[in-house]
Structure 1
Amino acid sequence: MKRSALIVFSLFFVMLLVPQRITAQAIPSKKMEKSSSKISKTADELSKSLDENDESKIAQNYERLANEFLNNGDNAKAEEYFKRALNSYTKLKLTEDKTRVTRSLAKAQENQKNFGSAIKNYEKAGSLTKDAVEEKINLNDANRLKNQSDPASQADYVDSNIDLLKKENKKGEVKEAYVQKAQNSLQLNDKKVAIESYNKALDYTKNKPEEAIKIKNEIAKVYAEDNQFDKALLISEKILAEARKNKDYTTEIKQLQSLSSIYFEKKEPEKAISSLKEAYDLSFQKGNSAEAKKSLSSLVKYYKTKGQDKKSMALYEQFFDNFDKLIHSDTTLIDAKTFQITEEKIRQLEKEKTLKDELISKKNTFNYFLIGSVGLLLLLFMFIVKALYSIKIKNKEIALQSLRREMNPHFIFNSLNSVNQFISENKELEANKYLTSYSNLMRNMMENSNKDFISLDKEVEQLKKYLDLEHLRFEDKFDFEITVDDSLDPERVFVPNMILQPHLENAIWHGLRYLDKKGFLSLRFDVKNEKIIVTIEDNGIGLTKSGELKTKNQKIYESRGLNNTKERIALLNELYKKEITFRIVEKEGLESGTMVQIVFPLIDKI
Structure 2
Amino acid sequence: MKRHLLIGFSLFFLTLLFPQQTTAQALPEKKVETKNKISKAAVELSKSLDENDESKIAANYEKLANEFLNKGDNAKAEEYYKRALNTYTKLKLNEDKTRVTRSLAKAQENQKNFDSAIKNYEAAGSLSKDEAEEKINLNDANRLKNQADPASQTNYVDSNIELLKREKKSKEVKEAYVQKAENSLELKDKKVAIESYKKALDYAKDKPEEVIKIKNEIAKVYVADNQFDKALAINEKLLAEAKTTNNYTAEIKQLQSLAALYFEKKEPQKAISSLKNAYNLSFQKGNSAEAKKSLSSLIQYYKTKGEDKESMALYQQFFDNFEKLIKSDTTLIDAKTFQITEDKIRQLEKEKDLKDELISKKNSFNYFLLGSVGLLLLLFLFIVKALYSIKIKNKEIALQSLRREMNPHFIFNSLNSVNQFIAENKELEANKYLTSYSNLMRNMMENSNKDFISLDKEVEQLKKYLDLEHLRFQDKFDFEIVVDDSLDAERVFVPNMIIQPNLENAIWHGLRYLETKGFLSLRFEYTNRKINVFIEDNGIGLTKSRELKTTNQKIYESRGLNNTKERIELLNELYKKDISFTISEKELPESGTVVQIVFPLIYKI
Category of TM-score, reference length = shorter chain:
over 0.9
Alignment of 1:19 onto 2:9: no
Alignment of 1:494 onto 2:499: no
Matches within 5 A, 1:148-547: 148-547=147-546
RMSD: 1.8
Match in the other structure for 1:550: 549
Cα distance, 1:542 vs structure 2: 0.3
Cα distance, 1:24 vs structure 2: 13
Match in the other structure for 1:28: none
Alignment of 1:102 onto 2:101: yes
Q: Is the 8 A contact 1:478 1:518 kept in 2?
A: yes
SS at structure 2 position matched to 1:535: strand
Deviations 1:248-306 (CA, angstroms, capped at 9, x unpaired)? 10111111111112222222222111111111110000001011111111111122222
Go from structure 1 to structure 2 and tell me whether the alpha carbon gap of 1:530 and 1:23 turns closer, same or farther (over 3 Å shift).
Answer: farther
Matched letter for residue 18 of structure 1: L
Cα distance, 1:43 vs structure 2: 1.1
Deviations 1:337-368 (CA, angstroms, capped at 9, x unpaired)? 11111111111101111111111111111111
TM, length-normalised to structure 2: 0.96
Cα distance, 1:198 vs structure 2: 0.8
Go from structure 1 to structure 2 and tell me whether the alpha carbon gap of 1:143 and 1:164 turns closer, same or farther (over 3 Å shift).
Answer: same
Q: Is the 8 A contact 1:36 1:332 kept in 2?
A: no
Q: Is the 8 A contact 1:165 1:174 kept in 2?
A: yes
Cα distance, 1:425 vs structure 2: 2.5
CA distance in 2, matches of 1:24, 1:169: 48
Matched letter for residue 16 of structure 1: L
Q: Is the 8 A contact 2:20 2:336 kept in 1?
A: no
Matched letter for residue 574 of structure 2: L
Deviations 1:509-563 (CA, angstroms, capped at 9, x unpaired)? 1101111111111111112222221111000000011111112222121111100
Q: Is the 8 A contact 1:35 1:68 kept in 2?
A: no
Matched letter for residue 354 of structure 1: D
Greater Cα shift, 245-254 or 431-440: 431-440
Go from structure 1 to structure 2 and tell me whether the alpha carbon gap of 1:89 and 1:212 turns closer, same or farther (over 3 Å shift).
Answer: same
Structure 1 gaps of 5+ residues are 26-32
Matches within 5 A, 1:592-603: 592-603=591-602
Q: Is the 8 A contact 2:256 2:275 kept in 1?
A: yes
Matched letter for residue 11 of structure 1: F
Matched letter for residue 301 of structure 2: Y
Match in the other structure for 2:28: none
SS at structure 2 position matched to 1:513: helix
Matches within 5 A, 1:71-110: 71-110=70-109
TM, length-normalised to structure 1: 0.96
SS at structure 2 position matched to 1:524: strand
SS at structure 1 position matched to 2:226: coil
Deviations 1:287-329 (CA, angstroms, capped at 9, x unpaired)? 0101111111111112222222222222122112111110001
Go from structure 1 to structure 2 and tell me whether the alpha carbon gap of 1:562 and 1:268 turns closer, same or farther (over 3 Å shift).
Answer: same
CA distance in 1, matches of 2:437, 2:14: 122
Aligned-pair identity in percent equals 82
Cα distance, 1:486 vs structure 2: 2.0
Q: Is the 8 A contact 1:205 1:211 kept in 2?
A: yes
Structure 2 gaps of 5+ residues are 24-31
Q: Is the 8 A contact 2:74 2:107 kept in 1?
A: yes
CA distance in 2, matches of 1:563, 1:213: 107
Cα distance, 1:412 vs structure 2: 0.9
Greater Cα shift, 123-132 or 375-384: 123-132
Alignment of 1:132 onto 2:131: yes
Cα distance, 1:429 vs structure 2: 2.4
Cα distance, 1:7 vs structure 2: 5.1
Q: Is the 8 A contact 2:34 2:330 kept in 1?
A: no
Q: Is the 8 A contact 2:538 2:592 kept in 1?
A: yes
Greater Cα shift, 323-332 or 524-533: 524-533
Q: Is the 8 A contact 1:35 1:72 kept in 2?
A: no
Match in the other structure for 2:27: none
Matched letter for residue 421 of structure 1: Q
Match in the other structure for 2:583: 584
